[in-house]
Every structure is written in C-alpha cells, then in structure tokens.
C-alpha cells in the first residue's frame, strides 16, 4: 500500500501533467484558427484549377502526344506514394490514420505485383513506415525547420516529384494527407496527381465549345506542373489544420482524464489518511484502557 507521501507525489505529478496538457490545448486552439482559415482559403483555388484543367484535358484526352503529366507513361507498374504527416506527436490518431491508409494502398499494390516507392513528408510518417517499408522509402522531407507553410515549400516538393517522373523513377504518383473537416473529424485522403485525374460532375445538356489561345497542349504544359504544386500546397495546409484539430481534441481528452485521475487519487489519499488516523486513535484508546 503506498504511503501518504507517495500519494501526494502522484497527485502533484498528475496536476503538473494536467497543466501541460491544458497549455498545449490552448496553443493548438490558437494555431488552429489560422491553419483552418488558410486551408479553407486554398480549397476554392485548388478545386477551380482542377475543374478548369479537366475541361481543357477533355479535348486532348485521346491525343497520345499530349503532356506526359496527363497521358502518363503507358503503364502503372511503379507507384510513388507521397505520405504527408506531421513532425510531432501528441495529436491523437492523426499520423496513424494517414499511415494506415498509405500502408493499405501499398499492401494492395504489392499483392498485385506492383513496385512501390515511398517519399515521406514529415518525420512521424517516416518513423512508422520504415519498420515495414525501409527499403521502399527513397527519401524523407523534413519540415521541422519550416515555421510557416508557404507555396515555395510545396513548389520544392512538387519539383522533386516532377524531376523523379522525368527520370522515369515511377509511373503513378499518389498523395496521402488528412483533409480537415472539423475539430473532431479529419478524413485521411488519397489523391492521384500523376497522371492527372480530374473528377467533376457531368454538365447537364450539351457541353459548351471553347477556343483556346494558345492551343490546349501548350496550356496544359504550363498549368499541369503548377497544378501539382497547388495540390501539394493544399495537402500541406489541410494537414496543418487537421494536426492542430486532432491535437486540440487529444489534449482536451488528456486534461479531462488527468482531472478524473486527480479526483481518484485525492479520494484514495483521504481514505488512507483517515484510516491511519483511525488506527492511531484505536491504539491510543486501547493503550488507555489497558492501564
């Protein structure tokens, strides 16, 4: 049975932990506002670019001499998985959910006889994936030194992806990230970026005819690489908002759990203290009666 001193130390330690989790919750809530605003502001631009490129690509879809970023290499044997996770933990299932989705896709591709390569953006994803796919991981992009996400960061990652594609290192590239929905809901998402896939609702009635100047191939040659940069940037912003939302929820739960633990420890301390006092009283009374 622990002594009163041990119980007091446990209560003090739990209170100190509760202060830390409460502070982390408040910091995450403060950063979440900016991250959520940035993610929501990037969505319309990224979605509109996808829609515009989809309209242009529909007119050159059957052209074998179209841009390689749209037409592909003609095969899907080698897949590059871009796994975007956080650089820190203490954020609930945020990192694990993204890694789980990437692992399921990797296992499915391996079962089909495909070759996979993994590019990790974020240290936590690398730490989890290297246990099973150490030979398949080609590099780790560490964002710990990046204080604020900017388009230049996504552009560097996108240029790295395009360079690997031009070298023939892969045939299909898929981006894994977590889409922010709310503080308590983040949706792990897989988005294919090479060859470009444009999804949209079919238009009602006959499609309008457009004339492009310059021609469609030149427009796509300029905009397809930019679209990759935009989609990577959107994924990083969505991840940032999802991270802080998940961390805020996790720290709130930890603070509540610490409060419940303090109540239980305090109750145990009081009962132990009362039992010791009662025992001492019984000994005093017994000694007095013996005299």
Give domain limits for the chain.
4-20+252-290, 39-200+211-249
Question: How many angstroms separate the CA atoms of 65 and 85, rounded?
Answer: 36
Residue 167, pLDDT above cutoff 90: no
Which pLDDT band, with edges at 50, 70 and 90, does 210 fall under? low
Task: Look at residue 203 and tell me whether its pLDDT is greater than 60.
Answer: no
Mean pLDDT of 83-91: 86
Work out the percent of the chain whose per-residue pLDDT is above 70. Answer: 91
pLDDT at 58: 74
Region 194-203 average pLDDT: 67
Tell me the C-alpha distance between 68 and 119, whole Å.
21
Confidence (pLDDT) at 43: 86
pLDDT tens track for 22-58: 999 899 998 888 898 888 888 888 888 888 888 777 7
The stretches of 149-215 forming alpha helices (DSSP H) are 151-166
Contacts of residue 263, Cβ cutoff 8 Å, sequence gap at least 6: none
User: What b/e sequence results for 149-183 when a residue is b if at least 16 CB atoms lie within 10 Å of its CB, and e otherwise?
Assistant: beeebbbebbebbbebbeeeebbbbbbbbbbbeeb
Distance between CA atoms of 181 and 13, rounded to whole angstroms? 35
Query: What architecture is the 4-20+252-290 domain classified under in CATH?
Result: Orthogonal Bundle (1.10)
- Give the per-residue pLDDT at 49: 82
Q: Which residue has the tokens 């981006």?
A: 175
Mean per-residue pLDDT for 173-179?
91
Residues 39-200+211-249: name the CATH superfamily.
Answer: ATP synthase, F1 complex, gamma subunit (3.40.1380.10)
Other CB atoms within 10 Å distance of the CB of residue 137: 19
**What average pLDDT does the structure give for the chain?**
85
**3-class DSSP state for residue 173?**
strand
Q: Does the structure show a pLDDT above 70 at 280?
A: yes
Region 122-141: mean pLDDT is: 88
Q: Are residues 142 and 123 in contact, defined by beta-carbon separation less than 8 angstroms?
A: yes
147 vs 10: which has the higher pLDDT: 10
| The pLDDT of residue 235 is above 50 | yes
């Amino acid at each position: 049975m622990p002594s009163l001193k041990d119980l007091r130390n446990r209560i003090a330690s739990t209170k100190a932990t509760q202060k830390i989790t409460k502070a982390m919750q408040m910091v995450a809530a403060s950063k979440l506002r900016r991250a959520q605003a940035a993610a929501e502001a990037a969505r319309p631009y990224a979605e509109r670019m996808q829609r515009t490129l989809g309209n242009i690509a529909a007119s050159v879809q059957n052209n074998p001499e179209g841009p390689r970023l749209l037409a592909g290499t003609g095969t899907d044997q080698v897949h590059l998985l871009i796994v975007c996770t956080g650089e820190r933990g203490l954020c609930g299932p945020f990192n694990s959910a993204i890694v789980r989705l990437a692992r399921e896709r990797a296992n499915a591709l391996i079962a089909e006889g495909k070759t996979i390569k993994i590019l990790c953006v974020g240290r936590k994803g690398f730490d989890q994936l290297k246990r099973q796919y150490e030979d398949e991981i080609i590099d780790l992009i560490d964002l710990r030194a990046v204080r604020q996400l900017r388009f230049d960061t996504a552009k560097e990652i996108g240029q790295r992806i395009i360079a690997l594609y031009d070298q023939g290192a892969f045939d299909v590239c898929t981006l894994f990230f977590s889409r922010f929905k709310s503080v308590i809901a983040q949706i792990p998402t897989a988005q294919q970026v090479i060859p470009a896939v444009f999804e949209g609702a079919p238009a009602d009635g006959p499609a309008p005819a457009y004339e492009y100047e310059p021609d469609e191939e030149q427009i796509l040659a300029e905009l397809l690489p930019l679209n990759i940069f935009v989609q990577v940037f959107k994924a990083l912003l969505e991840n940032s908002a999802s991270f802080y939302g998940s961390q805020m929820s996790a720290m709130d739960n930890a603070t509540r759990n610490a409060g419940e633990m303090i109540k239980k420890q305090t109750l145990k301390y009081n009962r132990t203290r009362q039992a010791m006092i009662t025992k001492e009283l019984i000994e005093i009374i017994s000694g007095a009666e013996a005299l």
